[in-house]
Amino acid sequence: MRCPFCKNSTTKVVDSRISEDGFVVRRRRLCLTCNHRFSTMETTSLFVVKRSGVLEEFDKTKLLAGVRKSFQGRLVDEDVLAQLAQSVEDSIRARGVSQIDSYDVGLTLLEPLQKIDEVAYLRYASVYQGFETLDDFEKEIKNLRNNKKPDINKVHELPDDE
């Protein structure tokens, strides 16, 4: 770690603290050359593998943007959406992987979304799982009425990533 003041790489950790969510470590450092103190924040990296093979850092705001589209015209508390995004991230991080396919991110979102709002879930699932016919919608509505878990094993051609 380089000192932001003198750019020397000889620093020492003076204090470390873990954030409330447990995913970030704040370190207080001392430059051994100029004696300035500074803080660093360390976090684990989580990357999403797009269908094109490109790696992108996981971004909850991007996840939320997609989910908000499924709630268009429906009332939803922003705190509920923030908790949803955090639970999806927590679930992915609990797998202990540093990379995850974008498709798997969407699958991880489906079940908690269904518990929040079935209409928003159906909108999201119809795009994400590529519903092509009314039968696809009818089957998923029947599953919802029977309180079944979403049929996440259905394989369809996915829409292009934005």
pTM of the model: 0.69
What's the CA gap between 39 and 49, in Å, rounded?
31
**pLDDT (0 to 100) of residue 147:** 76
**Residue segments in the chain with a per-residue pLDDT below the cut of 50:** 152-162
**pLDDT (0 to 100) of residue 157:** 41
**pLDDT (0 to 100) of residue 162:** 42
Q: How long a stretch of residues is the chain?
A: 162
**pLDDT (0 to 100) of residue 158:** 40
CA–CA distance from 84 to each of 60, 87, 114, 123 (Å)?
10, 5, 11, 16
* Range list of H helices, 24-133: 60-70, 78-94, 102-116, 118-128
Q: Residue 47 gets which letter from DSSP? A: E
**pLDDT (0 to 100) of residue 136:** 92
CA–CA distance from 69 to each of 76, 109, 123 (Å)?
12, 14, 9
**pLDDT (0 to 100) of residue 80:** 94
CA–CA distance from 60 to each of 13, 84, 135 (Å)?
30, 10, 32
